[in-house]
Chain A
């Protein structure tokens, strides 16, 4: 599959923004006054909105983008759009209630916001996990990866936000320690999930044979001529070539930058949250690019795989 950079950026940026929103909201609900909360919410809004705008760059005809809300009952992409837009009014309600110290409304809208953000992330995962045409994606790891990586990068961002605020305020270390523990746990879980995705990758159900694809009886089939002399939409979109060695290297880059390095930084240099965030987001960008570049679509079979 061709990795569309707009979609790669969208899923990483929006995921991190929603994760940050979730942790900021939960911390606010559970711990009350929290330095860095305002900064965190603003950053979450920027990341989430930048991601959504980037996703519209992927559309060939963005004028009809608003129609994406139409098929809520059938399409995960439509569901993602509806829930993503619903995040804004709910977040506004939560912030308003929070600012006016309306505890009941803040609690209800805050929990609703957390649930909504998780649903958006889950919808993104299902967009890919539901495709029967890409066997590599059709597993629970894909569905879980998007919410988990969103929560993971969000937790790191949340930690960076509160540690930034702690630098100029006297802050007891409890939220910091809790945040560090949470981020570490999520990094371990995320790394384990990605590792299991990569380990499982080679054993994913193979693409159908050329015989099955053309409906031929058992026998030897090979591609003689693909029927076109240049590039086509199909070869551009589905026959993305990535050298195996390159993919292997990038897998280690994704695992190292996205999970291992931020984890080590948190464990041994807990004040270095900004480099940890940068490393994690860079790693996730590589991970997401590879997610597309490595996946093989059934249409490849007709082109000689």
Chain B
């Protein structure tokens, strides 16, 4: 198995619900060992997050001729919200560089985990990670990271639909999906294929598992047709109803 996440950059609204749900679940999780806050209600709050959402502005460089029409607006210009957590790389350098063996990658499902009993808090794994997926818990002196909610996804006491990472369950925009990338028929494999999902920083060759679905160009709205008088009676009635509501 090759478990991982798909994040849809087209539909993510940047609400941070995934990050908060992650804190909520893993803050008390025995498996993740906790995600502490420092000075949580003070002047300079900080803390450990396994999942962080950053916000970017994206503008397409060269609009095509059909996009340049209209009022001169570029078709694709939008805010891109990018949640990032551990990519559970197939060739995880964080595991390779760990001197204690506290960082490991599970052979059975590919999840990268940290054994807090072994970690000495040297930060070297965090240096080796290009995604900023690892953060030091200075309370316990050990490194923390996303576990893909390993204590949820196999829990048979939970209803089957809830055996998913907390971030996936919390996402109100359904921008996050969890599954097995080894299974060509799984949802994550299918939507990655259909939407040409990409890995982040593939050139570093860590073979990250998580995939990001790029933003789509919004479909052109034919304003001429929208303003035209509806052809059939049903649409005319509907248009009249709309006008009544707007009175």
Contacts and interface: CB of A to CB of B under 8 A. Distances in A.
B138 A67 contact: no
B120 A215 contact: no
B126 interface: yes
Contacts of A212: 200-201, 203
Contacts of B44: 230-231
B63 to A, nearest CB: 10
Given A67-B118, A219-B76, A132 B204 contact: yes
B123 interface: yes
Interface stretch (A12-20, A108-116, A295-303): A295-303
Interface stretch (A74-82, A148-156, A173-181, A240-248): A74-82
A122 B139 CA distance: 33
Contacts of A229: 45
Contacts of A1: 127
B96 interface: yes
A221 B56 contact: yes
Given A214-B212, A230-B45, A237 B123 contact: yes
A59 interface: yes
Given A60-B136, A227-B16, A234-B135, A222 B214 contact: no
A24 B121 CA distance: 35
A216 B136 contact: no
Interface string B75-93: 0100110101000000001
Contact of A78 (B55, B99, B117): B99
B120 A62 contact: yes
Interface string A50-61: 000000001111
A130 interface: yes
Interface in B9-60: 9, 16, 19, 44-46, 48-49, 52-60
A238 B132 contact: yes
A219 B61 contact: yes
B212 A218 contact: no
A223 B81 CA distance: 10
A133 B130 contact: yes
A133 to B, nearest CB: 5
A275 interface: no
Given A71-B100, A71-B101, A216 B48 contact: no
Interface of A: 1, 58-65, 67-71, 74-78, 81, 127, 130-134, 208, 210, 212-234, 237-238, 297-299, 302-303
Given A213-B200, A227-B53, A299-B131, 7 more contacts: A68-B99, A71-B100, A214-B212, A221-B59, A221-B80, A234-B52, A302-B82
Interface of B: 9, 16, 19, 44-46, 48-49, 52-62, 76, 79-80, 82, 84, 93, 95-102, 117-124, 126-132, 135-136, 138, 140-142, 198-201, 203-206, 212, 214-215
